[in-house]
């Protein structure tokens, strides 16, 4: 390939969500000139800096960052000056680049205008399902209209995400499905974390959820399932990351007390040693009650060769082949989840068979190399066709 285009990666958040971990995995291995621009400081910026990725955090964007589907007209008006400042700053940085790559919706809205002003092609990586579960119809209409008008390409993290974009009026010809790529070796080689002793779990069966604490991630469904699984312990790894998730996290902690599960449910907060923790559990559980756009945690469980139970919706159905590489249960169905956990624990031979098949497939389908090639090709095309 010719010299890699210079890329300005833009993300609105510096929290460590799945989309940010995905970008981190890509840029830390990418050759060639690039810079990451964030709209705030935080752990994502720190991780980029530790990986020697040139990174700049902008300031003064709080009104834009706090704007959400619940915000009213007043908040929208208050976000305008901050938005204009961001457009100016992104445009300044874009002038020196061949392509702008926006890794979130807010970043894309800003980048689309900045890219138009500077005639720089803009690629948008859409990580969310554009459905009513997640976004207001105004938000979806706005972002899709901007994509149709200004994006050179829209990378989507699953067929499900692609479908939601097209159903919302997005042009199918813009889309490229690129699955998250993960470092298989790290998950295969990590030594199990010493949680059993540290948490007083002993030899009890242990299931783990590795998602941020958020209502749509559905950790409450596991708590309900545990009522009928008296011997089973659970690790809840992750913390509230965004806005109103804090209330849900507190509700979960209260519910553990009310259900008498304090001895069996272990909240570990946000952790940076996920591979070691995944390797320490017997079963990986994914409980999202709204369709998951992709679901890195599902692929990570497979790479660690664990039996994985996920909810039958969205991208999860593209990662797990039911009956072959894992288990799928209806979202929000605590009884079905409890039955699946019982099945996995009572039939270890079947669990091992699916886990082995799952790892084999995941290594091929979710490799860092495949992801990097697909993203690089999209960026090259965008640089060639121009803004
Ligand atoms: N994760 C993490 N620390 C935690 C909990 C989760 O690093 O304490 C990681 C997890 O390993 C996964 C990502 O956060 O890579 C979550 O990505 P996913 O796509 O599953 O969901 P998202 O939160 O992006 O919707
Ligand atoms: C988003 C989605 C998640 C996906 C991640 C990486 O955060 O919620 O399902 O795995 O992006 O694409």
Going from the first residue of the chain to its last (387 residues), give the mean pLDDT of each consecutive group of 10, the final group possibly shorter.
Answer: 88 96 97 94 97 93 72 71 91 97 96 97 98 86 96 98 98 98 96 96 98 97 98 97 89 97 98 98 98 98 98 98 97 98 98 98 97 98 85
The angle subtended at Cα 243 by Cα 239 and Cα 246, nearest 5°, is: 45
Q: What pLDDT shows up at residue 78? A: 76
Cα 366 to averaged position of ligand 2 atoms, centre (Å) = 14
Atom of ligand 1 nearest to the CA of 237: 8
Q: What pLDDT shows up at residue 387? A: 58
Atom of ligand 2 nearest to the CA of 125: 12
Give the Cα separation of 380 and 146 in Å (integer): 22
Q: Is the CB of 332 under 6 A from ligand 1?
A: no
Q: What pLDDT shows up at residue 243? A: 78
Cα 157 to averaged position of ligand 2 atoms, centre (Å) = 7
Q: Provide residues with CB under 6 Å of ligand 2.
A: 17-19, 22, 127, 157, 180, 292-296
Q: What pLDDT shows up at residue 350? A: 98
Cα 70 to averaged position of ligand 1 atoms, centre (Å) = 24
Sequence-distant (≥ 6) Cβ neighbours of residue 220 within 8 angstroms: 251, 252, 255
Residue among 261, 281, 263 at smallest CA distance from 199: 263
Give the DSSP letter string of 239-270.
---STTHHHHHHHHHHHHHHTT-TTTEEEEES
The ligand with the least distance to the CA atom of 157 is: 2
Cα 25 to averaged position of ligand 1 atoms, centre (Å) = 13
Q: Is the CB of 238 under 6 A from ligand 1?
A: yes
Cα 296 to averaged position of ligand 2 atoms, centre (Å) = 7
Atom of ligand 2 nearest to the CA of 180: 12
Give the Cα separation of 175 and 170 in Å (integer): 9
Q: What pLDDT shows up at residue 221? A: 98
Residue among 18, 2, 100, 106 at smallest CA distance from 379: 100
The ligand with the least distance to the CA atom of 177 is: 2
Q: Is the CB of 18 under 6 A from ligand 1?
A: yes
Q: Which of 133, 212, 296, 368 to mutate to test the pocket of ligand 2 (most atoms within 8 A of CB)?
A: 296
Domains of the chain (ranges plus CATH)? 7-181+368-385 (3.40.50.2000), 184-365 (3.40.50.2000)
3-state secondary structure of 283: strand
Atom of ligand 2 nearest to the CA of 296: 10
The angle subtended at Cα 50 by Cα 45 and Cα 52, nearest 5°, is: 95
The ligand with the least distance to the CA atom of 193 is: 1
Longest Cα–Cα distance of the chain, Å, equals 62
Q: What pLDDT shows up at residue 1? A: 52
């Amino acid at each position: 390939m010719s010299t890699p285009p210079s890329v300005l990666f833009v993300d609105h958040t510096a929290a460590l969500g799945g989309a940010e971990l995905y970008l981190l995995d890509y840029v830390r291995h990418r050759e060639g000139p690039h810079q990451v621009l964030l709209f705030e400081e935080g752990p994502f910026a720190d991780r980029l800096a530790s990986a020697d990725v040139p990174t700049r955090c902008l300031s003064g964007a709080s009104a834009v960052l706090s704007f959400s589907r619940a915000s009213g007209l007043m908040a929208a008006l208050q976000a305008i000056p901050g938005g204009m400042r961001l457009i100016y700053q992104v445009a300044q940085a874009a002038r020196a680049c061949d392509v702008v790559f926006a890794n979130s919706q807010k970043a894309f809205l800003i980048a689309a205008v900045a890219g138009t002003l500077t005639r720089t092609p803009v690629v948008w990586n859409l990580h969310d399902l554009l459905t009513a579960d997640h976004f207001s119809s105004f938000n979806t209409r706005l972002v899709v209209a901007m994509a149709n008008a200004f994006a050179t390409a829209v990378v989507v993290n699953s067929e499900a995400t692609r479908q939601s974009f097209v159903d919302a009026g997005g042009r199918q010809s813009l889309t490229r499905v690129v699955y998250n790529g993960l470092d298989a070796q790290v998950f295969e080689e990590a030594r199990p974390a010493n949680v059993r002793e540290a948490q007083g779990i002993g030899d009890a069966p242990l299931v783990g959820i590795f998602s941020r604490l958020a209502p749509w991630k559905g950790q409450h469904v596991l708590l309900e399932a545990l009522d009928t699984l008296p011997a089973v312990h659970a690790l809840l790894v992750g913390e509230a990351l965004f806005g109103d998730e804090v209330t849900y996290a507190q509700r979960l902690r209260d519910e553990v007390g009310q259900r008498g599960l304090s001895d069996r449910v272990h909240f570990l907060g946000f952790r940076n040693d996920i591979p070691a923790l995944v390797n320490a559990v017997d079963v990986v559980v994914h409980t999202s009650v709204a369709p998951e756009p992709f679901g890195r945690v599902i692929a990570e469980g497979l790479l660690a060769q664990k039996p994985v139970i996920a909810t039958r919706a969205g991208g999860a159905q593209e990662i797990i082949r039911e009956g072959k590489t894992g288990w799928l249960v209806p979202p929000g169905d605590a009884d079905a989840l409890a039955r699946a956990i019982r099945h996995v624990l009572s039939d270890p031979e079947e669990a091992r068979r699916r886990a082995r098949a799952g790892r084999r497939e995941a290594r091929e389908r979710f490799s860092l190399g495949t992801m990097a090639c697909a993203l690089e090709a999209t960026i090259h095309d965008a640089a060639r066709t121009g803004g």
